[in-house]
């Protein structure tokens, strides 16, 4: 499975649509470990572009600090599971805590 995380300053960007880049982290769900990762430059911000962009990059899930309802629906239409309310931590720490079931999510900071 490939997990996408929006980045700003090397940590999760709270507003995914305005991030500097994305990191795609490949995980082995059975072994609960990261197998590889790759960074992608974020395309220009355009409504509706990122779900298709990340689907084409092979993402199965996005973990974000916040996301509007329309964006969540577009990701789900592109077969990308959405997790919101994640803390602004390093992406590997977020994915590792997701894999071991300890990822604590708070409020969706972009739910408007």
Top-confidence residue, 38 or 112: 38
Angstrom distance (rounded) from CA 91 to CA 2: 13
Sign of the torsion formed by the C-alpha atoms of 67, 72, 74 and 79: positive
Q: What is the dihedral of CA 111, 82, 64, 2, to 10 degrees?
A: -170
Which tens digits make up the pLDDT trace of 26-81? Answer: 999 999 999 999 999 998 878 788 999 999 999 999 999 988 888 899 999 999 99
Range with the poorest average pLDDT among 8-12, 46-50, 68-72, 96-100: 46-50
pTM exceeds cut of 0.95: no
pLDDT, the chain, mean = 91
pLDDT at 109: 63
> For the domain 2-37+52-99, what is the CATH code?
3.30.420.130
Q: Helix, strand, coil shares of the chain as percentages rounded to 5?
A: 25, 30, 45
**11-12 and 2-8 beta bridge pairing:** antiparallel
User: What is the share, in percent, of the chain residues with pLDDT greater than 70?
Assistant: 96
């Amino acid at each position: 499975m490939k997990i996408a995380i929006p980045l700003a300053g090397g940590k999760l960007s709270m507003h995914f649509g305005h991030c500097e880049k994305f990191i795609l982290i490949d995980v082995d769900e059975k072994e609960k470990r990261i197998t590889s990762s790759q960074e992608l430059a974020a395309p220009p911000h355009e409504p509706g572009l990122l779900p298709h962009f990340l689907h084409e990059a092979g993402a199965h899930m996005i973990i974000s600090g916040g996301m509007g309802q329309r964006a969540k629906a577009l990701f789900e239409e592109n077969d990308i599971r959405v997790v919101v309310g994640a803390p602004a931590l390093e992406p590997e720490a977020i994915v590792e805590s997701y894999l071991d079931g300890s990822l604590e999510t708070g409020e969706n900071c972009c739910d408007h």
